[in-house]
Structure 1
Amino acid sequence: MVFKNEPERLEVRPAHREHLQALLQKGQLITAGPWADDTGALHIYEVADEAELREILSRDPYTAVDAYDIAVLREWTPILP
Protein backbone atom coordinates (compact mmCIF):
# COMPACT_ATOMS: atom_id res chain seq x y z
CA MET A 1 0.00 0.00 0.00
CA VAL A 2 1.01 3.59 -0.58
CA PHE A 3 0.05 6.08 2.12
CA LYS A 4 -1.81 9.34 1.51
CA ASN A 5 -3.95 11.82 3.45
CA GLU A 6 -1.27 12.06 6.12
CA PRO A 7 -3.08 14.00 8.88
CA GLU A 8 -6.12 11.71 8.74
CA ARG A 9 -3.97 8.58 8.49
CA LEU A 10 -1.91 9.48 11.54
CA GLU A 11 -5.06 10.26 13.51
CA VAL A 12 -6.45 6.75 13.02
CA ARG A 13 -3.12 4.90 13.12
CA PRO A 14 -3.68 3.52 16.68
CA ALA A 15 -7.04 2.06 15.61
CA HIS A 16 -5.46 0.69 12.40
CA ARG A 17 -2.78 -1.07 14.44
CA GLU A 18 -5.42 -2.52 16.80
CA HIS A 19 -7.26 -3.81 13.72
CA LEU A 20 -4.07 -5.48 12.47
CA GLN A 21 -3.37 -6.99 15.89
CA ALA A 22 -6.86 -8.54 15.94
CA LEU A 23 -6.30 -10.01 12.46
CA LEU A 24 -2.95 -11.42 13.56
CA GLN A 25 -4.58 -13.07 16.59
CA LYS A 26 -7.23 -14.65 14.32
CA GLY A 27 -4.58 -15.93 11.90
CA GLN A 28 -5.77 -13.73 9.04
CA LEU A 29 -2.62 -11.58 9.01
CA ILE A 30 0.83 -13.09 8.59
CA THR A 31 2.87 -9.88 8.92
CA ALA A 32 2.61 -6.15 8.35
CA GLY A 33 4.79 -3.11 8.65
CA PRO A 34 5.63 0.23 7.09
CA TRP A 35 8.44 0.90 4.66
CA ALA A 36 11.48 2.49 6.35
CA ASP A 37 10.60 5.87 4.81
CA ASP A 38 6.95 5.58 5.97
CA THR A 39 5.54 6.13 2.47
CA GLY A 40 3.59 2.89 2.57
CA ALA A 41 3.53 -0.61 3.98
CA LEU A 42 3.56 -4.31 3.21
CA HIS A 43 0.79 -6.53 4.57
CA ILE A 44 0.60 -10.29 4.01
CA TYR A 45 -2.77 -11.88 4.73
CA GLU A 46 -3.97 -15.48 5.00
CA VAL A 47 -7.35 -15.46 3.29
CA ALA A 48 -9.46 -17.76 1.14
CA ASP A 49 -9.82 -15.33 -1.74
CA GLU A 50 -9.76 -11.69 -2.84
CA ALA A 51 -13.32 -11.14 -1.65
CA GLU A 52 -12.33 -12.04 1.90
CA LEU A 53 -9.34 -9.72 1.72
CA ARG A 54 -11.45 -6.85 0.44
CA GLU A 55 -13.92 -7.40 3.27
CA ILE A 56 -11.05 -7.23 5.79
CA LEU A 57 -9.75 -4.06 4.19
CA SER A 58 -13.21 -2.49 4.27
CA ARG A 59 -13.11 -2.71 8.09
CA ASP A 60 -9.64 -1.16 8.40
CA PRO A 61 -9.74 2.35 9.93
CA TYR A 62 -7.30 3.47 7.21
CA THR A 63 -9.96 2.67 4.61
CA ALA A 64 -12.51 4.93 6.32
CA VAL A 65 -10.22 7.96 5.96
CA ASP A 66 -8.89 7.05 2.48
CA ALA A 67 -5.35 6.75 3.90
CA TYR A 68 -3.87 4.44 1.26
CA ASP A 69 -3.93 3.16 -2.27
CA ILE A 70 -3.26 -0.49 -3.01
CA ALA A 71 0.00 -0.61 -4.94
CA VAL A 72 0.01 -4.36 -5.60
CA LEU A 73 -2.58 -7.00 -4.79
CA ARG A 74 -1.33 -10.48 -5.64
CA GLU A 75 -1.77 -14.04 -4.54
CA TRP A 76 1.43 -15.40 -3.01
CA THR A 77 2.65 -18.97 -2.60
CA PRO A 78 5.17 -19.19 0.23
CA ILE A 79 7.74 -21.97 0.14
CA LEU A 80 9.59 -21.18 3.39
CA PRO A 81 9.63 -21.87 6.28
Structure 2
Amino acid sequence: MWIVELAFTDAPERFAARPAHRQLLTALHAEGKVRMSGPFADDSGAVLVFDVPDRAALDDLLAADPYFTTPGVEVVAVREWAPFLT
Protein backbone atom coordinates (compact mmCIF):
# COMPACT_ATOMS: atom_id res chain seq x y z
CA MET A 1 0.00 0.00 0.00
CA TRP A 2 0.97 3.62 -0.43
CA ILE A 3 0.26 6.71 1.65
CA VAL A 4 0.08 10.04 -0.14
CA GLU A 5 0.07 13.18 1.98
CA LEU A 6 -1.17 16.47 0.58
CA ALA A 7 -0.87 20.07 1.77
CA PHE A 8 -3.54 22.63 0.86
CA THR A 9 -3.79 26.37 0.42
CA ASP A 10 -6.98 28.38 -0.06
CA ALA A 11 -6.44 28.69 -3.82
CA PRO A 12 -9.86 28.80 -5.53
CA GLU A 13 -8.69 26.31 -8.17
CA ARG A 14 -8.48 23.63 -5.46
CA PHE A 15 -12.11 24.08 -4.49
CA ALA A 16 -13.22 24.04 -8.13
CA ALA A 17 -11.30 20.80 -8.84
CA ARG A 18 -12.35 18.94 -5.69
CA PRO A 19 -15.75 17.51 -6.84
CA ALA A 20 -14.22 15.74 -9.87
CA HIS A 21 -11.33 14.53 -7.70
CA ARG A 22 -13.69 13.07 -5.12
CA GLN A 23 -15.73 11.39 -7.86
CA LEU A 24 -12.58 9.75 -9.22
CA LEU A 25 -11.52 8.63 -5.72
CA THR A 26 -14.98 7.12 -5.19
CA ALA A 27 -14.59 5.08 -8.39
CA LEU A 28 -11.07 3.98 -7.37
CA HIS A 29 -12.41 2.98 -3.95
CA ALA A 30 -15.05 0.80 -5.62
CA GLU A 31 -12.22 -0.86 -7.59
CA GLY A 32 -10.23 -1.45 -4.38
CA LYS A 33 -7.41 0.87 -5.41
CA VAL A 34 -8.16 3.51 -2.78
CA ARG A 35 -8.64 2.18 0.74
CA MET A 36 -9.38 5.50 2.41
CA SER A 37 -8.87 9.20 1.95
CA GLY A 38 -9.83 12.44 3.53
CA PRO A 39 -8.75 15.86 4.69
CA PHE A 40 -7.18 16.69 8.02
CA ALA A 41 -9.69 18.17 10.47
CA ASP A 42 -8.18 21.64 9.96
CA ASP A 43 -8.31 21.28 6.13
CA SER A 44 -4.57 21.98 5.88
CA GLY A 45 -4.07 18.84 3.79
CA ALA A 46 -5.18 15.26 3.36
CA VAL A 47 -4.05 11.65 3.49
CA LEU A 48 -4.89 9.03 0.88
CA VAL A 49 -4.18 5.32 1.15
CA PHE A 50 -3.78 3.51 -2.17
CA ASP A 51 -3.70 -0.26 -2.57
CA VAL A 52 -1.69 -0.77 -5.75
CA PRO A 53 1.21 -3.14 -6.42
CA ASP A 54 4.04 -0.67 -7.01
CA ARG A 55 5.12 2.95 -7.33
CA ALA A 56 4.59 2.93 -11.09
CA ALA A 57 0.93 2.01 -10.63
CA LEU A 58 0.55 4.74 -8.02
CA ASP A 59 2.21 7.30 -10.26
CA ASP A 60 -0.21 6.37 -13.06
CA LEU A 61 -3.19 7.00 -10.77
CA LEU A 62 -1.79 10.31 -9.56
CA ALA A 63 -1.10 11.42 -13.13
CA ALA A 64 -4.66 10.57 -14.16
CA ASP A 65 -6.14 12.95 -11.57
CA PRO A 66 -5.39 16.61 -12.34
CA TYR A 67 -6.20 17.51 -8.71
CA PHE A 68 -2.70 16.50 -7.67
CA THR A 69 -1.19 19.29 -9.81
CA THR A 70 -3.93 21.87 -9.18
CA PRO A 71 -2.85 25.18 -7.64
CA GLY A 72 -3.45 24.93 -3.91
CA VAL A 73 -2.64 21.21 -3.76
CA GLU A 74 0.87 19.94 -3.10
CA VAL A 75 1.96 16.32 -2.76
CA VAL A 76 4.30 16.57 0.23
CA ALA A 77 5.02 12.88 0.84
CA VAL A 78 4.61 9.49 -0.81
CA ARG A 79 5.51 6.51 1.32
CA GLU A 80 5.17 2.80 0.87
CA TRP A 81 3.27 1.31 3.79
CA ALA A 82 3.17 -2.28 5.00
CA PRO A 83 0.24 -2.57 7.45
CA PHE A 84 -0.14 -5.75 9.43
CA LEU A 85 -3.82 -5.10 10.23
CA THR A 86 -6.37 -4.00 7.68
TM-score (norm 2): 0.84
Question: Among 58, 63, 75, which residue is 1:58 paired with?
Answer: 63
> What percentage of residue pairs aligned between the two structures are identical?
41
Higher relative contact order (CA 8 A, sep 6+): 2
Higher normalized strand content (fraction of residues): 2
What SS class does the counterpart of residue 77 from structure 2 fall into?
coil
Bigger Cα displacement from structure 2, 3-12 vs 25-34: 3-12
What SS class does the counterpart of residue 55 from structure 1 fall into?
helix
Q: How many residues align?
A: 81
Question: Among 3, 9, 16, which residue is 1:11 paired with?
Answer: 16
Per-residue CA shift, 1:26-56, capped at 9, x if unaligned? Answer: 1100000000010100000001111111110
Within 5 A, what are the aligned runs for 1:1-81? 1-4=6-9, 6-81=11-86
Write out the 4+ residue segments of structure 1 that deviate beyond 6 Å after TM superposition.
Answer: none
Structure 2 stretches of 5 or more lacking a match?
Answer: 1-5
Counterpart-to-counterpart distance in 2, 1:14 and 1:44: 19
Paired residues of 2:68 and 2:75 also in contact (CA < 8 A): no
TM-score (norm 1): 0.89
Structure 1 stretches of 5 or more lacking a match?
Answer: none
